């Protein structure tokens, strides 16, 4: 159902990983608050499932943007920006939910392909897409970019390998970008650290963990995209509603 208070009405928001657990929640929450969303992701069938839920719930019709961020060419990225501008005329928000983790083990044993895939999706792809969309974003009122990160980027614990390194790099990129636009009034850049949330990616590391579902983050995504957002620039947001798992520290790391 559409919210009774359409706080994002008239705003246009692009979400990466929109076919995944967090990305779908972000897209449906923003659409439910009145935004027109662009669903970007690698798997068309998953994007279509998110699209169908938004339409059934009465949200504005989304735009589909199937794209593999890890392999996207400059021409494909430019085509996304061009399509958004020509079809929608503006872009007010960008939420990076796309994430990749297929290896938990020692850095000594990580393969080149595993290292490259983790950085390409979690860091380099986010950088390249953001860079391409910056001209469009900064022409819009109160534009916002949000990078979904992970507590492992701060903890830097053993056996989290390329995923933790990539997320740490993503955080550095986001904060440098925030500082570059600080005071300009044209762009807010923030980090969202959800904590333990029951997603497919999280279950790879903690299969027995009890944690809240991704829907707990829906209000936060909307607040971050509002033109009158309660969040400033360069913040790290860790929603209090998402409590840490009581068993997280007891689970053994997978060592391969």
Residue 5 lies in a domain: no
When pLDDT is cut at 50, 70 and 90, the band that residue 6 belongs to is low
Find the mean pLDDT for residues 241-253: 37
User: Given the DSSP bridges, would you call strands 187-192 and 236-237 parallel, antiparallel or unpaired?
Assistant: parallel
Res. 208: pLDDT tops 50: no
When pLDDT is cut at 50, 70 and 90, the band that residue 249 belongs to is very low
Find the mean pLDDT for residues 60-66: 96
Higher pLDDT, 207 or 107: 107
Res. 243: pLDDT tops 50: no
Nearest to 256 by CA among 119, 100, 108, 101: 108
Alpha carbons 148 and 90: distance in angstroms, whole number: 23
The pLDDT, as a whole number, for residue 193 is 85
Nearest to 192 by CA among 69, 92, 96, 70: 96
Looking at 51, 103, 163, 181, which residue is catalytic? 163
Alpha carbons 128 and 118: distance in angstroms, whole number: 15
Find the mean pLDDT for residues 35-52: 96
The pLDDT, as a whole number, for residue 150 is 74
Which range is least confidently modeled, 149-153, 176-180, 186-190?
Answer: 149-153
Residue 175 lies in a domain: yes
Q: How many domains does the chain have?
A: 1
Length of the chain as a residue count: 256
When pLDDT is cut at 50, 70 and 90, the band that residue 151 belongs to is low
Residue 6 lies in a domain: no
**Tokens 């938004």 label which residue?**
54
Residue 2 lies in a domain: no
Residue 4 lies in a domain: no
Q: What is the CATH number of the domain that holds 68?
A: 3.40.50.720
When pLDDT is cut at 50, 70 and 90, the band that residue 201 belongs to is low
Residue 154 lies in a domain: yes
The pLDDT, as a whole number, for residue 209 is 47
Residue 172 lies in a domain: yes
Give me the chain's average pLDDT, please: 83
- Residue 163 known to be catalytic: yes
The answer to whether 95 and 26 have CB atoms below 8 angstroms apart is: yes
Structure tokens, 9: 């009405």
Res. 85: pLDDT tops 90: yes
Residue 255 lies in a domain: no
Res. 196: pLDDT tops 70: no
Query: Which residue segment(s) compose the domain that 182 sits in?
Result: 12-250
Query: Which helix H or strand E contains 153, and what residues bound it?
Result: helix 152-155
When pLDDT is cut at 50, 70 and 90, the band that residue 43 belongs to is very high
Residue 5, classed as helix, strand or coil, is coil
């Amino acid at each position: 159902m559409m919210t009774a208070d359409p706080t994002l009405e008239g705003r246009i928001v692009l979400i990466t990983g929109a076919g995944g657990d967090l990305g779908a929640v972000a897209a449906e929450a923003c659409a439910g608050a009145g935004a027109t969303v662009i669903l970007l992701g690698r798997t068309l069938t998953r994007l279509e499932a998110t699209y169908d839920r938004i339409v059934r719930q009465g949200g504005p019709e989304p735009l589909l943007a199937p794209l593999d961020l890890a392999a996207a060419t400059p021409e494909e990225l430019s085509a996304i920006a061009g399509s958004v501008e020509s079809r929608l005329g503006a872009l007010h928000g960008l939420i990076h939910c796309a994430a990749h983790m297929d290896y938990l083990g020692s850095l000594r044993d990580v393969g080149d392909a595993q290292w490259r895939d983790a950085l390409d999706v979690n860091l380099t792809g986010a950088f390249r897409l953001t860079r391409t969309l910056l001209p469009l974003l900064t022409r819009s009122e109160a534009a916002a970019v949000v990078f979904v990160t992970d507590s492992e980027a701060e903890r830097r614990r053993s056996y989290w390998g390329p995923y933790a390194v990539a997320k740490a790099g993503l955080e550095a990129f986001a904060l440098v970008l925030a500082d570059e636009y600080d005071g300009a009034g044209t762009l807010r850049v923030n980090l969202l650290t959800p904590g333990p949330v029951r997603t497919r990616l999280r279950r790879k590391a903690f299969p027995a963990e009890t944690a809240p579902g991704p829907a707990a983050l829906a209000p936060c995504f909307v607040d971050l995209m509002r033109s009158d957002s309660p969040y400033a620039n360069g913040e790290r947001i860790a929603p209090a509603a998402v409590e840490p798992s009581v068993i997280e520290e007891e689970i053994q790391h997978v060592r391969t």
